[in-house]
Amino acid sequence: MRPITRSTAALPILLACALTLPGPRGATAAAAAPAAAPAPAPASPPFDLLIRNGTVYDGTGAPARRADVGVRGDRIAAVGELAGARAGRTIDATGMAVAPGFINMLSWAPDAFMVDGRSMSDIKQGVTLEIFGEGMSMGPYDEWMKADTRALQGDIKYDITWTTLGGWLDQVTARGVSPNVASFVGATTLREHELRYDDRAPTPAELARMQELARQAMAEGALGIGASLIYAPAFYAKTPELVALARAAGETGGGFVAHIRSEGNRFLEAVDELIGIAREAGVHGEIYHLKAAGEANWPKMAQAIAAIEAARARGISVSANMYTYIAGATGLDAAMPPWVQEGGLDAWVKRLRDPAIRARVLKEMRAPTDAWENLALAAGSPERIRFIGFKSEALKPLTGMTLAQVAAKRGTTPEDTMIDLVIEDHSRVDTAYFLMSEDNVRLGIRQPWVAFGSDAESSAPEGVFLLSSTHPRAYGNFARLLGRYSRDEKLITFEDAVRRLTSLPAQNWKLRDRGCLYAGCFADLVVFDPARIQDHATFDKPQQYATGVRDVFVNGVQVLKDGEHTGARPGRVVRGPGWCGWQTDGCAAAAHPGVPPAPPARSRAR
- Residue number with CB closer to Zn ion (173 or 427): 427
Q: Are 493 and 486 in contact (CB under 8 A)?
A: yes
- Least Cβ distance, residue 328 to Zn ion (angstroms): 7
Bridge pairing between strands 450-452 and 318-322: parallel
- Residue number with CB closer to Zn ion (263 or 495): 263
SS3 category, 462: coil
Bridge pairing between strands 385-389 and 430-434: antiparallel
- Residue number with CB closer to Zn ion (259 or 575): 259
- Least Cβ distance, residue 288 to Zn ion (angstroms): 5
- Least Cβ distance, residue 41 to Zn ion (angstroms): 52
- Least Cβ distance, residue 260 to Zn ion (angstroms): 9
- Residue number with CB closer to Zn ion (304 or 352): 304
CA distance 484 to 535: 8
Q: Are 476 and 535 in contact (CB under 8 A)?
A: yes
Q: What is the largest distance, in Å, between two alpha-carbon atoms of the chain?
A: 84
CA distance 48 to 90: 9
Query: Contact residues for Zn ion (CB under 5 A)?
Result: 259
**Cβ-closest residue to Zn ion?**
259
| The residue type at 64 | A
SS3 category, 205: helix
- Residue number with CB closer to Zn ion (27 or 106): 106
- Residue number with CB closer to Zn ion (342 or 455): 455
CA distance 249 to 188: 15
Q: Are 435 and 328 in contact (CB under 8 A)?
A: yes
Q: How many residues are recorded in the chain?
A: 606
- Least Cβ distance, residue 188 to Zn ion (angstroms): 11
- Least Cβ distance, residue 507 to Zn ion (angstroms): 23
- Residue number with CB closer to Zn ion (288 or 522): 288
- Residue number with CB closer to Zn ion (54 or 133): 133
Q: Are 426 and 349 in contact (CB under 8 A)?
A: yes
* Exposure class string for 233-262: b at 16+ Cβ within 10 A, else e: bbbbbeeebbbbbbbbbbbbbbbbbbbbbb
Q: Are 571 and 74 in contact (CB under 8 A)?
A: no
- Least Cβ distance, residue 199 to Zn ion (angstroms): 20
Q: In sequence order, which residues have a C-beta less than 8 Å from that of residue 592 and are 6 or more positions away? A: none
SS3 category, 335: helix
Calculated CA dihedral for residues 106, 266, 256, 492, nearest 10 degrees: 50
Calculated CA dihedral for residues 505, 221, 479, 62, nearest 10 degrees: 30
- Least Cβ distance, residue 230 to Zn ion (angstroms): 8
State the distance between the two ends of the chain, measured CA to CA, in whole angstroms: 25
- Residue number with CB closer to Zn ion (226 or 556): 226
- Least Cβ distance, residue 132 to Zn ion (angstroms): 13
H or E element in which residue 39 lies: none
What is the DSSP secondary structure assignment for residue 84, as one 8-state letter?
A: T
CA distance 41 to 130: 38
- Residue number with CB closer to Zn ion (73 or 331): 331
- Residue number with CB closer to Zn ion (258 or 421): 258
- Least Cβ distance, residue 127 to Zn ion (angstroms): 18
- Residue number with CB closer to Zn ion (453 or 576): 453
CA distance 47 to 192: 50
Burial (CB count within 10 angstroms: exposed 0-12, middle 13-18, buried 19+), residue 30: buried
- Residue number with CB closer to Zn ion (99 or 185): 185
- Least Cβ distance, residue 228 to Zn ion (angstroms): 5
CA distance 51 to 74: 14
- Least Cβ distance, residue 3 to Zn ion (angstroms): 30
- Least Cβ distance, residue 183 to Zn ion (angstroms): 15
Between helix 414-425 and helix 345-352 the angle, nearest 10°, is 130
